[in-house]
């Protein structure tokens, strides 16, 4: 009964979105070629993890093509658009074996592309034991025609929480992937000790993803269930995550992966034993200034905030979004002095994809703008900047993937 | 109509004291008003959780499961913010935690914000979150895991 309710909605959506070649028939065709036919499609369709997912990731290559990763039937599909989303290439499957890919809430596959066109993908494979997972990676060095066999990056061999991956490329051969990791908590518990939260671990590659160095620990005692974020500064990759201060205070921290020195992003003082399930975003415009967005319900401030971080200097937290419209899940992109923030609101009737734009490195901002609305399920909007062009990508059940010009 | 039928089946199940955890009922924009009406003049605990992503919720439900063994007729209403596709996982989890008799609901809306707003416009989705309703249905919001000692004291107070 439930299934019957879901499937036609999905089909309606696919039919409507057929104009976007990405979806509907073309996706099915591509999959049939890859898997001729999917042997367990029926089972996959009835498994809970096969719930239709709207979570997508997007990036832009040096030729201005927008690459999109999404999840369908336990498979990551990658396609590009050379005409700002009017049409998409035939999607190519990344993982040859179907797996339970985290693609709900803030979980989604991550995609990055280098100057030379290598596509990097990371994702969280959810395992059957609750809250356990593996951090997975695959790449394409032939313009997205084929992908390497997926590998598991976490190297501890434990069945524990490896989730909430984030991925960043320096545009060349260097790559970093960070995630929330339960290995230290489990080890402590085995010794009969308590351990607040989990840890942040990361893996680095200096050869364009051909190989990865051993996992390294960035920090211990972090919140367990918010997305992480990475950005590549002139001083190397920087990470943002919801940290645990003491055992209850869930405020954001950031650090350069190389130095590991922690900076508290803000003294929000959100003291709760709960899962906010609501992370932050991080970007850099190619210099050493970080643009951070985050969400808190702390004692000192509540809602969505933006601030710049340059070394030890931080701008004052700037509130944005309408808290009465449950504004949340912000993401930020930057290129040079252009900074674009997106987030989602719900006004009681429809979801809105919201934007804020700055052309002077975050000193001054446009008025908030509602770029589009939808009256059904929706992903969070994603900001894209390339060659001064500002766009957002928004996947919604009714309208499919939309790419819209901000300015 | 279907919802009404489902509700009736669900309520019948409750009255009969179903032996195994029932399929969670669908929680829509009108559900909380119905729950409140059913508990008119009586205290109850509304506890919001997720089967998919909330470890702290499992801690809280473990405590509530143990508590419900000693507290017969614990007035507990559980609402999972997941979706009807997760019904089986919800049923299994509650069964494992000794909450198979608890009243159980699951969000049924492609826009969970709409349902959150019917519960509390100030609630931004963090979990677990509970509301302790007294007899007059003055309610207090509890963000994060419920404290067992505090909860027991509250229950005692409600019986006076």
What is the pLDDT, as a whole number, of residue A184? 98
Determine the pLDDT at residue A36: 29
Q: Which of A48, A276, A348 sits opposite B89 (nearest CB)?
A: A48
- DSSP secondary structure letter of residue B17: T
Do A351 and B111 lie within an 8 Å CB cutoff? yes
* Average pLDDT rounded to a whole number, residues A385-399: 95
What pLDDT does residue A151 have? 98
Mean pLDDT of B82-94: 95
Backbone angles phi, psi at A277, to 5 degrees: 55, 40
Taking CA atoms, A167 is separated from A47, A124, A179, B17, B65, in Å, by: 28, 11, 9, 50, 40
CB nearest B144 (choices: A274, A295, A323): A274
Please give the residue that has the higher pLDDT: either A347 or A6: A347
How far apart CA B144 and CA A98 sit, in angstroms, is 36
Inter-chain CB proximity A274 and B113 less than 8 Å: no
Domain B2-159 carries which CATH code? 3.40.30.10
Span between the terminal Cα atoms of chain A, in Å: 45
CB B131 within 8 A of CB B140: yes
* Domain boundaries defined on chain B: 2-159
On whether ipTM exceeds 0.95, the answer is: no
pLDDT in tens, A47-58: 444 467 999 999
Kindly state whether B88 is in contact with chain A, defined as any CB-CB distance less than 8 angstroms: yes
Q: Is A1's pLDDT higher than 70?
A: no
The CA distance from A251 to A217, in Å, is: 19
- Answer whether residue A6 shows pLDDT above 60: no
Pairwise CA distance, residues B137 & B43, whole Å: 7
Mean pLDDT of A248-275: 95
**Judged by CB atoms within 8 Å, which residues 91-150 of B form the interface with A?**
110-111, 113-114, 116-117, 121, 124-129, 143-145
pLDDT digits (tens, 9 = 90+) for A130-186: 889 999 999 999 999 999 999 999 999 999 999 999 999 999 999 999 999 999 999
Reported as a pLDDT band with limits 50, 70 and 90, residue A19 is very low
Contact between B86 and A48 using a beta-carbon 8 Å cutoff: yes
Packing angle, helices B87-96 and B55-70, rounded to 10: 50
Identify residues of A whose CB sits under 8 angstroms from chain B CBs: 2-3, 5-6, 48, 51, 104-105, 130-131, 224-225, 272-278, 295, 297, 323-324, 326, 328, 346, 348, 351, 376-378, 397
Is B22 an 8 Å CB contact of chain A?
no
Task: Encode A342-381: b = buried (16+ Cβ within 10 Å), e = exposed.
Answer: bbbbbeeeebbbbbbbbbebbeebeebeebbbbebbbbbb
Please state the pTM of the whole predicted model.
Answer: 0.86
A30 or B114: whose pLDDT is higher?
B114
**What residue ranges define each of the domains in chain A, with the CATH number in brackets?**
2-331 (2.120.10), 332-407 (no CATH)
């Amino acid at each position: 009964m439930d299934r019957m309710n879901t499937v036609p909605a999905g089909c309606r959506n696919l039919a409507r979105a057929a104009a976007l070649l990405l979806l509907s028939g073309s996706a099915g065709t591509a999959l049939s070629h890859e898997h001729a036919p999917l042997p367990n499609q029926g089972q996959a369709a009835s498994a809970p993890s096969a719930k239709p997912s709207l979570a997508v990731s997007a990036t832009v290559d040096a030729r201005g093509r927008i690459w999109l990763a999404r999840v369908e039937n336990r498979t990551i599909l990658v396609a590009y658009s050379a005409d700002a989303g009017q049409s998409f290439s035939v999607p190519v499957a990344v993982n040859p074996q179907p797996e339970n890919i985290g693609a709900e809430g803030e979980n989604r596959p991550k995609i990055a592309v280098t100057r030379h066109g290598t596509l990097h993908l990371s994702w969280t494979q959810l395992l059957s034991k609750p809250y356990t997972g593996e951090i997975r990676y695959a790449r394409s060095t032939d313009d997205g025609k084929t992908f390497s066999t997926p590998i598991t990056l976490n190297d501890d061999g434990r069945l524990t929480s490896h989730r909430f991956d984030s991925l960043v490329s320096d545009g060349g051969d260097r790559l970093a992937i960070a995630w929330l990791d339960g290995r230290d908590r489990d080890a402590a518990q085995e010794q009969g000790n308590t351990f607040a939260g989990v840890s942040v671990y990361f893996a680095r590659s200096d050869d364009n993803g051909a190989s990865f160095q051993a996992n390294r620990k960035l920090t211990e005692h972090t919140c367990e269930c918010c997305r992480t974020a990475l950005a590549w500064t002139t001083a190397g990759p920087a990470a943002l995550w919801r940290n645990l201060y003491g055992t209850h205070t869930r405020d954001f921290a950031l650090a350069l992966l190389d130095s590991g020195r922690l900076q508290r992003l803000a003294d929000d003082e959100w003291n709760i034993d709960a899962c906010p399930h609501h992370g932050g975003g991080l970007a850099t415009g190619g210099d050493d200034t970080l643009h951070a967005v985050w969400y808190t319900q702390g004692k000192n401030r509540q809602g969505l905030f933006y601030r710049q971080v340059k070394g030890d200097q931080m701008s004052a937290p700037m509130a944005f979004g309408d808290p009465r419209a449950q504004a949340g899940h912000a993401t930020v992109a930057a290129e040079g002095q252009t900074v674009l923030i997106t987030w989602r609101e719900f006004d009681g009737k429809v979801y809105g994809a919201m934007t804020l734009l700055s052309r002077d490195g975050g000193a001054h901002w446009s008025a908030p703008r509602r770029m589009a609305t939808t009256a059904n399920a929706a992903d969070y909007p994603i900001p894209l900047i390339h060659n001064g062009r500002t766009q957002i990508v928004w996947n919604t059940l009714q309208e499919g993937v939309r790419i819209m010009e901000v300015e | 109509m279907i919802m009404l039928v489902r509700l009736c089946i669900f309520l019948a199940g409750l009255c009969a004291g179903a032996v195994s955890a029932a399929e969670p009922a669908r929680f829509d924009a009108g559900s909380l008003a119905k729950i409140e009406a059913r508990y008119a003049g009586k205290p109850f605990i509304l506890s919001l959780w997720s089967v998919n992503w909330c470890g702290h919720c499992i801690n809280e439900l473990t405590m509530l499961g143990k508590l419900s063994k000693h507290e017969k007729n614990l007035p507990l209403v559980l609402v999972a913010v997941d979706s009807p596709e997760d019904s089986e996982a919800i049923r299994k989890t509650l069964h494992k935690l000794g909450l198979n008799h608890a009243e159980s609901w699951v969000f049924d809306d492609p826009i969970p914000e709409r349902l959150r707003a019917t519960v509390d416009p100030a609630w931004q989705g963090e979990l677990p979150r509970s509301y302790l309703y007294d007899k007059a249905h003055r309610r207090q919001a509890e963000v994060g895991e419920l404290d067992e000692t505090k909860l027991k004291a509250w229950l005692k107070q409600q019986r006076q």
